[in-house]
Amino acid sequence: MKTQEFFQVLEQNKDKSLLFEYAPDLLVGANYHITEVKHIKVDSVDCGAQTDSWNETIIQLWESPLEKGKTEYMSVLKALGILNKVGKMKSYDLESEVKFEYSNANFHTAQLFVNDFEIQNQNIIIKLAIQKTDCKAKELCGVPESVVEVAEKVKEKVESCCSPSSGCC
């Protein structure tokens, strides 16, 4: 979800509470705070020596141990106040992907993307998901797509992709 789309969803639901589902049926605790907003510019080089660049907005969520028993979630209006204040200090790239950085005692620190959102009564639930790592240069490096191809050709492909003359890292 683009940053602009996320803000539009919030603007349309100002009267609701803001919940985050970080895994199926697992919610970030009501004791969460928005502790940081990162405006990230990524400049990358993939294993096929191809360059790319893009921007991301990363909103960090943190559960306060001092508010462990809290049951009332942050309102969308309060979250918008925080995010708008940040935007006045450092401009958003509204076309950038919005991600959420989160962890707790049972879930590793991860940058999660917005998979969907759902309205339930007076709550808006932002459904987050993990994006798995992937090879961006599959075609260039001859990395097969299917599991069957991998099983049949893994040795051949690894040797050809990883040889010094292959053009891959």
Query: pLDDT tens digit string along 60-92?
Result: 999 999 999 999 999 999 999 999 999 999 999
Domain total in the chain: 2
CA quadruple 79, 32, 121, 117: dihedral positive or negative? positive
> Are 161 and 100 found together in one domain?
no
| Range(s) of the domain holding residue 145 | 137-169
> Are 63 and 101 found together in one domain?
yes
- Cα 150 to the chain's mean position, in Å? 28
Residues 76, 158: Cα–Cα separation, whole Å = 49
Quote the mean pLDDT of the chain: 90
pLDDT of residue 111: 96
> Are 87 and 157 found together in one domain?
no
Q: Are strands 123-130 and 17-23 parallel, antiparallel or unpaired?
A: parallel
- Residue 154 predicted with pLDDT over 70: no
Q: Break the chain down into helix, strand, coil percent, rounded to 5.
A: 25, 40, 35
Stretch among 34-43, 81-90, 126-135 having the lowest mean pLDDT: 126-135
> Are 158 and 112 found together in one domain?
no
> Are 155 and 88 found together in one domain?
no
> Are 84 and 148 found together in one domain?
no
> Are 91 and 141 found together in one domain?
no
Closest to 110 measured CA to CA, from 28, 45, 30, 15: 28
> Are 41 and 65 found together in one domain?
yes
> Are 71 and 146 found together in one domain?
no
> Are 62 and 104 found together in one domain?
yes
> Are 30 and 76 found together in one domain?
yes
> Are 77 and 46 found together in one domain?
yes
